[in-house]
Amino acid sequence: MKKESEHLSQTYSYMALRKAVGWIGILLPFVLVLGTFLLFGYTNILRNISLYYHTEMRDVFVGSLCAISLFLFFYKGYGKLDNLAASLAGFFALGIAFFPTVKEGPYNWQAYVHLFCAGFFFLILALISLLLFTKKEPHPSGEKLKRNNIYITCGSIMVVSTAGILIFLGLFAKSYPQSSFVFWAETIALIAFGISWLTKGGTLFPDRTQVVKTEAIKPEVPESVE
C-alpha cells in the first residue's frame, strides 16, 4: 500500500508539472506586457515577444523559457519518440532564450538562429499535440476522445500561427515595421500550447478513474486477539 501511495503521489506531482508548464506558456506574454506597462512605464506592445529580452523584463522572459526547457528535457512520454520530441523542443527553447533577436535594424546571425529555434520550437510542440498526445488506446474513453479534439485544435492553431508569422516576416514586415502582428500570433500559439499541456495534465476532461480511498492506503492493522 505504501508503494501504491508513493506512486500516486509521484503521478500527481508529474501532472502538476504539466499544468505549471501550460500556465507558463499562457501567462508569459501577458506578464511581459503588464510588467513593462505597470512597472516601467511602457505604453505600447512590442512587435514580438522576443523583443522583451531587451527590456527590464528580460529575466522573466529567459527564466520562463528555461523553466519550460527544463521540464521538456526531463519529460518522459510513452516511448522514445515522445522523449526525443520533447527534448528537441527543450533544446530549441534554450536557443530562443540565449540567442536573442536584434532590437532594431537588420538581422545578424544570432537573430537568424533565434528565428530558426522559435520556428522549430512551435512546430515540434504542434506535432506533439497532433501526433503524440492523440495516440489512442484500443478502447479510448469518451474523455480521451474529447481531449484528442483539444490536442488537434491546439496543434493546428500552433501550425497556422507559425506559418502566419513566417509569411508576415517574409512578405509584410518591411511594409508594416511597427505592426504587433507577430506578438499576437506568438501569443495565440503560446495559449494553444498551454491549453494542450493543461489538458495533458488532467485539467480538462480527465478520465474517470476509481478514486483511491483513504482506507486503501492505510497500513493494515492486525486484528486484536481476545
Lookup result for grid cell 497556422: 160
Q: What is the model's pLDDT at position 10?
A: 52
The percent of the chain in helix, strand and coil, each rounded to the nearest 5, is 70, 0, 30
Q: What is the model's pLDDT at position 77?
A: 76
Q: What is the model's pLDDT at position 90?
A: 96
Q: What is the model's pLDDT at position 11?
A: 58
CB–CB of 189/158 below 8 Å?
yes
CB–CB of 193/25 below 8 Å?
yes
Q: What is the model's pLDDT at position 139?
A: 84
Ranges of each domain in the chain: 14-206
CA 37/CA 6 separation, integer angstroms:
45
Q: What is the model's pLDDT at position 17?
A: 83
Q: What is the model's pLDDT at position 210?
A: 37
Query: Under DSSP, is residue 222 helix (H, G, I), strand (E, B) or coil?
Result: coil
Tell me the average confidence (pLDDT) per consecutive run of 10 residues in the chain, 226 residues long: 51 77 96 97 96 97 97 85 94 97 93 97 96 86 94 98 96 94 98 96 80 41 42
Handedness of CA 109, 115, 116, 117 (dihedral sign): positive
The pTM of this model reads 0.87
CB–CB of 152/134 below 8 Å?
yes
Q: What is the model's pLDDT at position 9?
A: 53
Q: What is the model's pLDDT at position 78?
A: 76
Convert 179-208 to b/e letters by CB count within 10 Å (16 or more is b).
Answer: eebbbbbbbbbbbbbbbbbbbbbbeebeee
Contacts of 136 by beta carbon, 8 Å cutoff, 6+ apart: 144, 148
Q: What is the model's pLDDT at position 208?
A: 75
Contacts of 119 by beta carbon, 8 Å cutoff, 6+ apart: 162, 165, 166
CA 25/CA 125 separation, integer angstroms:
12
Q: What is the model's pLDDT at position 220?
A: 44
